[in-house]
Amino acid sequence: MIPGSFEYVRPTSVEEAIAALVEHGDDAKVLAGGHSLLPLMKLRLAMPAVLIDISRIPGLSYVRVDGDEVAIGAGTRHHELEKDAVAAAEVPILPYVASQVGDPQVRHRGTIGGTVAHSDPASDLPTALLALGGTVVVQGPNGRRSIPLTDFWLGFFETALAEDELIVEIRVPRTGSAGWAYEKFTRRANDWPIVAAAAVGSRGGGAGGPLRVALANMAGAVVRATATEEALARGASIEEAAALADQGTSPGADMHADQEYRRHLARLLTRRALEKAAGAPAAAA
């Protein structure tokens, strides 16, 4: 399979990339690792006239502590996040979840900014990021703005990013020693999750804030399990709260799972994730 023809531009600064986005508008797509975009282009589901390759822009790959937050450069590749010592100490859910993306070859190419921009509801890192909370820092012709992660993913392949904006950084709270877990259910080793649940925080709002839960593949975009979070805040048991995990979700059906099975998985994986995050003994299947 061969992508349709396009013009290839390779800016060397964020400003140049934004100028290209301004010039080409909707005809352009940004290329980072290309592991979501190129498959779509090979299937001709995406046929951008211009491809803006941002992978040569220096200074977009980093993980550093900035006050109460960890700042991650949008160009940070999954394998870099997986091995990053700062991330391991400050926000340990992220290196683990990065290690669960695809396979090593995919992780050598894919970037955190790319997976955030793509807005696939079955993506691993967005699920963890949504549970963490925090912001996406985007830059456009008029400078930078921050978009809360909870407002960023609008639906299937749809985000709050404007046509002339580039994601430059992801910021998440430092969770340190707070509990966390990521429970991913797949049929085969390197598949996307049929459903996944990420949990971060502490019961009673200790280290890392109150327990938050996000779900993959339970709606058009990654979603928070708000009914579960509210129940936990009211003091419900993990078992009671997890039983509400699929409330307000709208899972799809495909050859892997129907809607009711996905709802079952959301409840089960949420319970397992919460038990792990809270340090409770793991539940039986």
Partner 1 sequence: MQISITVNGQQRTDEVEPRLLLAHYLREVCGLKATNLGCDTTSCGACTVIVDGLSVKSCTVLAAQTDGAQVTTLEGLTGPDGEMHPVQKAFREEHGLQCGFCTPGMVMAAIGVLADNPDPTDREIREGLEGNLCRCTGYHNIVRAVQSAAGAGPAAGQVPQAQEVAR
Rounded CA-CA distance 5/86 in Å is 41
Residue 73's φ and ψ, nearest 5 degrees, are -65, 140
Q: In angstroms, give the least distance from the CB of 29 to partner 1.
A: 13
Any contact of residue 6 with partner 1 (CB under 8 A)? yes
Amino acid at residue number 79: H
118 counts as binding partner 1 under rule CB under 8 A: no
Q: What share of the chain is helix, strand, coil (3-state, %, to 5)?
A: 35, 25, 40
Instruction: Tell which residue, 26, 30, 27, has the closest CA to residue 11.
Output: 30
Among 1, 85, 255, 285, the residue binding partner 1 under the rule CB under 8 A is 1
85 lies in the site for partner 1, by CB under 8 A:
no
Q: Binding to partner 1 (CB under 8 A): which residues in 9-68?
A: 10, 31, 34-35, 38-39, 41-42, 51, 53, 55
Q: Does 7 bind partner 1 (CB under 8 A)?
A: yes
Contacts by residues 100-104 (CB-CB < 8 Å, ≥ 24 positions apart): 100/124, 100/182, 100/184, 101/125, 102/35, 102/78, 102/190, 103/189, 103/190, 104/79
Nearer to partner 1, 106 or 236 (CB): 106
Of 5, 26, 68, 234, the one binding partner 1 by CB under 8 A: 5
**Of 107 and 271, which CB lies nearer to partner 1 in the complex structure?**
107
Q: Within positions 171 to 190, which residues make up the interface with partner 1, using CB under 8 A?
A: 189-190
The type of residue at 266 is A
* Count of residues near partner 1 by CB under 8 A: 29
Contact residues for partner 1, defined by CB under 8 A: 1-8, 10, 31, 34-35, 38-39, 41-42, 51, 53, 55, 79, 102-106, 108-109, 189-190
